[in-house]
Structure 1
Amino acid sequence: MATPHNSAEKGDFAKTVLMPGDPLRAKFIAENFLTDVKCVNEVRGMLGFTGKYEGKEVSVMGHGMGIPSIGIYTYELFNFYDVDNIIRVGSAGGMQDDVNVRDIIFAMGAHTDSNYGFQFGLPGTFCPTATYDILEKAVNIAREKGVRYHVGNVLASDAFYKKNCDEADRYRNLGCLAVEMETVALYMNAAEAKKNALTILTVSDHLYKTEELSAIERQNSFTDMMEIALKTAIKL
């Protein structure tokens, strides 16, 4: 059954879907890591693919930029396509001194300046978190690979360019590892649908250092993160 944003039919997606923001990164993963690949969605250029990794069916699809965009795509996957697990594979801006460009971050929880959670009508502040089982599996795989990683909270922000705001300094002071723009919607949608989610990030730049990766490097060079996510997916 197609949706306004997805032409796939029910059953076209595997139970576990990897989701990068950039649809071309989804294409890169499908072409370089999966076998028996089938393109299942091209609506609005948001490419989605299903194939096999080490013999197990896995899907990969872009989710676009920002909380509203990932909110739409993950809601539809969880609620209309019977997807059980979503692993976001994205980029982030580092915030702590011991976080370096190309490090991997596992987002245990997500702070936000977004009003996305208002729709749930909750009193107080809802704290969306990753699914521990997926987080534990992914961290163990990263440890076995010997990659440099961090586990902790990230900030999911509504704005990439901000005017006259010391928000980053305040979150950095409270131990926030990095800033990105999507995880809070993924984790909230997973909680509401009783499904599972994890965000894995590669640090592409740093708010307090000068090093950063180019757009092409972001698209094509996050292979450690991709492999960790895929090896996690086949364990679910």
Structure 2
Amino acid sequence: MTQGTAHIQPNGAKIAKTVLMPGDPLRAKFIAENFLEDVVQFNEVRNMLGYTGTYKGKEVSVMGSGMGIASIGIYSYELYNFFDVETIIRIGSCGAMQENINLYDIIIAQGASTNSKYVDQFNVPGYFAPIADFQLVADAKNKADEIGATTHVGNIFSSDIFYNADTEVTSKWARLGVLGVEMESAGLYVNAAAAGKKALGIFTVSDHLLRDEATTAEERQNSFTQMMEIALEIAE
């Protein structure tokens, strides 16, 4: 375990084996303040807030990742390889791509398709398919069913592009059964695979790409509690 990197400076504070990772550092702060006990802050570099505490007696950390594969690629790599983290559960918002999915539904990302070149660094002779840890997928689905959450399990699209010049990009991915779009999970899944660690993405639908429906920024930060509860419950 390193004492610190250019991006994460724990200054003696512990980082748990399981880290919940929302994109927004203020969501990490919200989780620490509302779900964890005995909280200690372990990072504030670049305002990418990180905290460690206990949830029902088990040690859990939560830290922001920032937006995009480039950002989560740095933080997840360091957590896996420099800070002995075993599991990262991304908890974020996503845009729905299927008509049977509604606002506030939860998507459990079994796989993460992408337009990113992140995996190219490994020079595999083909196309690597970034997937989640199966046991985490199963545990998340079981816990979601237990609390009565509406869930969808399948493929999501991790895009490097937020404002896409291709106006048909949504319909192209939707035709292949992709459930929704976000911007980080493929990079997280690749890093987990390369490090021999575990990863999962759980998402609350914040907007719908086929209908004119969306949640507010405040709702995204503070109201996605079912997703947070599922992640905390399955943390090892």
Would you say same fold, with TM above 0.5?
Answer: yes
**Alpha-carbon distance in 2 for matches of 1:72, 1:109:** 20
Instruction: Look up the match of 1:39.
Output: 41
Instruction: Look up the match of 1:49.
Output: 51
**Residue 197 of structure 1: how far off its partner (Å):** 0.4
Runs of at least 5 residues in structure 1 that lack an aligned partner in the other structure: none
Letter in 2 for 1:54: K
Q: How does 1:65-144 map to 2 (within 5 A)?
A: 65-144=67-146
**Residue 10 of structure 1: how far off its partner (Å):** 7.0
Instruction: Look up the match of 1:61.
Output: 63
Q: Deviations over 1:46-75 (max 9, x none)?
A: 000000000110000000000000000000
**Alpha-carbon distance in 1 for matches of 2:53, 2:61:** 6
**Alpha-carbon distance in 1 for matches of 2:12, 2:80:** 12
Residue pair 1:14, 1:83 contacting (<8 A) in 2 also:
yes
Equivalences, count: 234
Residue pair 1:156, 1:180 contacting (<8 A) in 2 also:
yes
Instruction: Look up the match of 1:162.
Output: 164
Residue pair 2:110, 2:153 contacting (<8 A) in 1 also:
yes
**Residue 11 of structure 1: how far off its partner (Å):** 6.7
Residue pair 2:13, 2:42 contacting (<8 A) in 1 also:
no
Letter in 2 for 1:211: E
Q: Deviations over 1:103-124 (max 9, x none)?
A: 0000000100010111111111
Residue pair 2:97, 2:209 contacting (<8 A) in 1 also:
yes
Instruction: Look up the match of 1:191.
Output: 193
Letter in 2 for 1:50: T
Residue pair 1:107, 1:198 contacting (<8 A) in 2 also:
yes
Residue pair 2:103, 2:207 contacting (<8 A) in 1 also:
yes
Q: Deviations over 1:84-137 (max 9, x none)?
A: 000000000000010111000000001000101111111111001000011111
**Alpha-carbon distance in 1 for matches of 2:176, 2:38:** 45
- 1:217 corresponds, among 209, 216, 219, to 219
1:4 aligns with 2:6: yes
* Partner-residue secondary structure (3-state), 1:12: coil
Letter in 1 for 2:111: G
Runs of 4+ in 1 over 2 A off after TM superposition: none
TM-score normalised to structure 1 length: 0.97
Give the alignment's Cα RMSD to 1 decimal.
0.9
Q: Deviations over 1:12-55 (max 9, x none)?
A: 10000000000000000000000000000000000000000001
Q: How does 1:6-21 map to 2 (within 5 A)?
A: 6-9=8-11, 12-21=14-23
1:227 aligns with 2:213: no
**Alpha-carbon distance in 2 for matches of 1:104, 1:214:** 17
**Alpha-carbon distance in 2 for matches of 1:17, 1:222:** 17
Residue pair 2:13, 2:41 contacting (<8 A) in 1 also:
no
Residue pair 2:69, 2:187 contacting (<8 A) in 1 also:
yes
Letter in 1 for 2:163: Y
Letter in 2 for 1:217: E
**Residue 164 of structure 1: how far off its partner (Å):** 3.1
TM-score normalised to structure 2 length: 0.97
Letter in 1 for 2:191: N
Q: Return 8-17 or 26-35, whichever deviates more.
A: 8-17
Instruction: Look up the match of 2:26.
Output: 24
Letter in 2 for 1:223: T
Give the fraction of aligned pairs with identical amino acids, expressed as a percent.
Answer: 58
**Alpha-carbon distance in 1 for matches of 2:108, 2:213:** 21
* Partner-residue secondary structure (3-state), 1:218: helix
- 2:207 corresponds, among 205, 208, 212, to 205
**Alpha-carbon distance in 1 for matches of 2:123, 2:229:** 38
